[in-house]
Structure 1
């Protein structure tokens, strides 16, 4: 049994928060390692001398923070999927597309974890006002909308929606659920739009109920939002991608030149 201490009745924090703090300390220190099972509810009840509901509140707090996951019939485990290191200066390198790999596949594989994509949907719609502005399109212009969810080692880490002008995407694999080797950027370049650079805007917020469901996270887990615009060599915007990332699942790394 871990050294979990005792409930301090003089502490202003309720007992469940004290229990959560003790377990969180061991997770942070690595004495509860990624993938390791936490003490059972019965063990925690006996150790702390509290009601089952108190222990469940403590575990729910850790789940809400994204630190642990519950497996039905097995117990509660320290979340094992390591952060995906997103290196902005390299992720869109043309060499990756030439190797038939999209950016997320390269990043996730660098952690030694299997990358998968599901919940793919493709439609053609009128561009939302903000998207039309970013793509320099007239209001109501048609765009191909591609939504998908990314998983690392089977754990959802990101949902993304791309908007590509119909004039570029029509008649290509961009309109199919499988966009082919190298992803949609490879298809855009095949249409004569050689990619030159990208702009990104990163913010943080709390997730919507729909995002929590898709990403399988608690209400207390924040998300990062990243809106990216891709430009070709003529400075024409060719794609807008709106992504929602689980905050604890990513490290965003930028290599910025000093000029």
Structure 2
């Protein structure tokens, strides 16, 4: 078994927290690497001389942090979770669209992960009141809805749903599964809506059951939500994008002047 710290009986922390800390350190320093199996419950109970429930509490602590994941019948493994650094001040730069790359693709590749998109669904629907307010249109007006799931190194890390007023999307590749080089924003600019600014609202919460399934999250793992509204040079809202991100997989970075 790998080297682990013993319990310190003088430590105020409960045994399960000490065991979780020892396993966390083993992961952080590389004694347990991505994809490695943790010692079994039997090995840990024998090593630490504690009840099986104590070990299970320790493992649950690591699951909640997104560090490990259980595979039925095989054990608990270190999650090979990518960390995507999302730099808000440059992620929608026109230079990326000019090179034919959408924002997520540029971000993931910048930190060495292979980006992918699956579960794409495109349809037209009446817009809900909250999205209509952000778009400056009436509730029930038609919008093109684009739902997709983003992958980093094959692992789901984000879901995104875009709402584009139908009058801006009809007749463009925005209504197709493949929007072409540069994504939605490149097509909007080609259609006469040069982008000028974005407004984002960032929050954190626990996922819904559907979100937990889509992002393959364990119990207790939170998500980050980012709702973005894109405006063209005339000040018209041309898209609302509602994203749900696995919190363990992202660092949100903001760079802005001190004024």
* Fold agreement, TM-score > 0.5: yes
Equivalence for 2:171: 171
Equivalence for 1:4: 5
1:258 equivalent to 2:258? Answer yes
Using a 3 Å threshold, how does the CA distance of structure 1 residues 68 and 25 change in structure 2: closer, same or farther?
same
Equivalence for 1:39: 39
1:183 Cα deviation after fit = 0.7
* Residue correspondence of structure 1 range 111-130 to structure 2 within 5 A: 111-130=111-130
The farther-off stretch of 203-212 and 46-55 is 46-55
2-structure distance, mates of 1:41, 1:139: 54
1:31 Cα deviation after fit = 4.1
Q: For structure 1, list consecutive stretches of 5 or more residues without a partner in the other structure.
A: none
SS in 1 for 2:97: helix
Does structure 2 retain, via aligned residues, the 8 Å contact 1:147–1:160?
yes
- Taking structure 2 as the reference length, what is the TM-score of the superposition? 0.91
1:156 Cα deviation after fit = 1.2
1:244 Cα deviation after fit = 0.8
1:113 Cα deviation after fit = 1.1
Equivalence for 2:226: 226
What is the number of residues matched between the two proteins?
A: 258
Equivalence for 2:22: 22
1:148 equivalent to 2:166? Answer no
Residue deviations 1:137-159, cap 9 Å, x none? 02211100111111111111111
* Residue correspondence of structure 1 range 206-225 to structure 2 within 5 A: 206-225=206-225
2-structure distance, mates of 1:49, 1:111: 42
The farther-off stretch of 125-134 and 67-76 is 67-76
Does structure 1 retain, via aligned residues, the 8 Å contact 2:27–2:78?
yes
Residue deviations 1:120-152, cap 9 Å, x none? 111111111011111110221110011111111
1-structure distance, mates of 2:103, 2:57: 38
Q: For structure 2, list consecutive stretches of 5 or more residues without a partner in the other structure.
A: none
SS in 2 for 1:92: coil
